[in-house]
């Protein structure tokens, strides 16, 4: 085998190995997640645009946490069971009509906490967005 062939195979092998590498967030981002959510297990990382998203389950709650590429926390989304939803949020939904609550997520940022409640009535679905204070911010009709 001549030198050109050896170099060619080494280059191809390196490229193949590099393409199989799973991209992970920086140590800073991983450390921030560990510091804020020390009990998080089986974390799945995904790069979405310019932000890293960690998905995991903690204490039976599905969690998604987003960090900027430089490690700053952006937001946390938690999927809640109906018994975990604050009473004022349920009261706000009930004022809108006789709906069945299908799902509730809470999104937490540095500026705001918003509940997104997916409700169903007959064959209609909508998402009601409610502030932490129980004020309806928006209602999104789903097809």
- In order along its 143 residues, the chain shows pLDDT tens digits of 555 444 444 444 444 444 444 588 999 999 999 999 999 989 999 999 999 999 999 988 999 999 999 999 999 999 999 899 999 999 999 998 888 999 999 999 999 999 999 999 888 899 999 999 999 999 999 97
> Rounded to an integer, what distance in angstroms lies between the CA atom of residue 19 and that of residue 132?
44
Cα dihedral 47→53→56→61 (10° resolution): -150
Please report which helix (H) or strand (E) contains residue 93, including its range.
helix 87-96
Domain spans of the chain, in order of start: 23-142
**β-pair partners for 46:** 53
- CATH classification (class only), 23-142: alpha beta
């Amino acid at each position: 085998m001549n030198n050109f062939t050896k170099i060619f195979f080494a280059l191809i092998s390196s490229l193949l190995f590099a393409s199989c590498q799973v991209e992970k967030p920086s140590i800073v981002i991983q450390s921030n997640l560990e510091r804020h959510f020390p009990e998080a297990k089986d974390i799945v990382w995904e790069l979405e645009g310019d932000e890293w998203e960690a998905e995991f389950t903690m204490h039976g709650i599905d969690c998604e946490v987003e960090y900027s590429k430089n490690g700053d926390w952006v937001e946390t989304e938690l999927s809640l069971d109906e018994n975990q939803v604050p009473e004022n949020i349920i009261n706000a939904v009930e004022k809108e009509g006789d709906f069945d609550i299908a799902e509730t997520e809470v999104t937490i940022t540095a500026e705001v906490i918003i509940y997104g409640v997916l409700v169903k009535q007959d064959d209609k679905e909508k998402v009601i967005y409610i502030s932490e204070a129980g004020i309806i911010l928006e209602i999104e009709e789903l097809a």
